[in-house]
Amino acid sequence: MAQSVRDIKRRIQSVENTQQITKAMEMIAAAKLRKVQEQVLKGRPYLDRLSTSLSRILSRAAKDGSELPAIAAKKEGDRRCLIVITSDRGLAGGYNANIIREADNYLSDNPDTQLILIGRKARDYYRRTNHSFLAEYVGIGERVGFRQAQEIGETVQDFYLHDLFDRVDILYTRFVNSAVHRITLSQILPLEESQEEANGLEAVFFYEPSIQSVLQAMVPLYIDTVLFQAMVEASASEQGARMMAMKNATDNAGELIRELNLSYNKARQASITTEIAEIVGGAEALKS
């Protein structure tokens, strides 16, 4: 019985050490989440405004019958490219597994889709399944920079202009709050025209030197911004998921410690009772 007490006490100490680690990781994830959350909230209005402006320019070009630059022109085929964003590290609950599951569903519906992978988890998964992909980007880290998005955007544009595919979609996790993250599938290319109908007076815009020149400058900026915002949203979602996963692990460790303490007290009480019984039995034997 004494050995059992020692085993329980050793296990309690082990769980307490693990609890300290998970608590520290929860606090680190919370601190990182606060920083990246600011980027998320600042970037959304800019992307919305950029997208609206670009849609209006495309609508104007369609009305005027203007010739579009190659990067802004629509293609007739349905060859697809999917950009999948996961994290480089684990310990984030089901964050990566949910993204990869949605990517597999997309590939089931569109078997000939080409892949561009961002994050070590997606890269490792598709390597294990022997699925080919056009490009991989790992080791980006938690501090996402716009230059990183530009490098990926340049690759996407180059593949698109060289006619490797006709459509580009991006799959990532949109940040809502620390506990809620929505898997989002968005189309990047080809660009969509504005579907808004004019109501009353409509503003007239003049594009200098030409609509083609404006689109030639704005489309790469739009692609880079979409990628950057998606990567920031994914980073915030990752930190939120890791924070919640570590919180749950800490709470579970606390519950396990309470159960072990109860078992320890019962075992200790049983050991004391046994020792008392042995002493009383010995005393009775001496009297007789």
Q: Are residues 116 and 6 in the same domain?
A: no
Residue position matching structure tokens 């990047």: 188
Q: Are residues 231 and 274 in the same domain?
A: no
Q: Which residues contact 74 (CB under 8 A, 6 or more apart)?
A: 190
CB 244 within 8 A of CB 94: no
Q: Are residues 132 and 266 in the same domain?
A: no
Q: Is residue 199 part of a domain?
A: no
**Nearest CA to 86 among 132, 121, 115?**
121
Q: Is residue 171 part of a domain?
A: yes
Residues 23-57: tens digit of each pLDDT: 999 999 999 999 899 889 999 999 999 998 898 88
CATH no. for residue 269?
1.10.287
Q: Are residues 13 and 117 in the same domain?
A: no
Task: Write the burial class of residue 180 (CB in 10 Å: 0-12 exposed, 13-18 middle, 19+ buried).
Answer: exposed
DSSP 38-67: HHHHHHHHHHHHHHHHHHHHHHHHHHHTPP
CATH no. for residue 67?
3.40.1380.10
pTM of the model: 0.85
In this structure, what token pair is assigned to residue 175?
């940040």
Q: Are residues 147 and 260 in the same domain?
A: no
What pLDDT is recorded for position 202? 64
Q: Is residue 138 part of a domain?
A: yes
Q: Are residues 143 and 35 in the same domain?
A: yes
Q: Are residues 70 and 213 in the same domain?
A: yes
CB 81 within 8 A of CB 115: yes
Q: Are residues 69 and 183 in the same domain?
A: yes
Q: How many domains does the chain have?
A: 2
Rounded Cα distance between 27 and 143, Å, is 17
Q: Going edge to edge, which strands form the sheet with 135-137?
A: 135-137, 114-118, 80-85, 167-175, 181-189
Rounded Cα distance between 170 and 185, Å, is 6
Q: Are residues 271 and 241 in the same domain?
A: no
Q: Is 169 helix (H, G, I), strand (E, B) or coil?
A: strand
Domain region containing 123: 28-193+204-246
Average pLDDT rounded to a whole number, residues 103-128: 95
Q: Is residue 185 part of a domain?
A: yes
Helix (H) or strand (E) holding 115: strand 114-118
Q: Is residue 232 part of a domain?
A: yes
Q: Is residue 103 part of a domain?
A: yes
Q: Is the pLDDT of residue 219 over 60?
A: yes
What pLDDT is recorded for position 1? 46
**Predicted confidence band of residue 278 (pLDDT cuts 50, 70, 90):** confident
Q: Are residues 143 and 276 in the same domain?
A: no
Q: Are residues 117 and 238 in the same domain?
A: yes
Average pLDDT rounded to a whole number, residues 69-80: 86
Q: Is the pLDDT of residue 194 over 80?
A: no
Q: Is residue 198 part of a domain?
A: no
Rounded Cα distance between 229 and 152, Å, is 13
The maximal CA–CA distance of the chain, rounded, in angstroms, is 117
**Nearest CA to 49 among 210, 233, 222?**
222
Q: Is residue 181 part of a domain?
A: yes
Rounded Cα distance between 62 and 82, Å, is 27
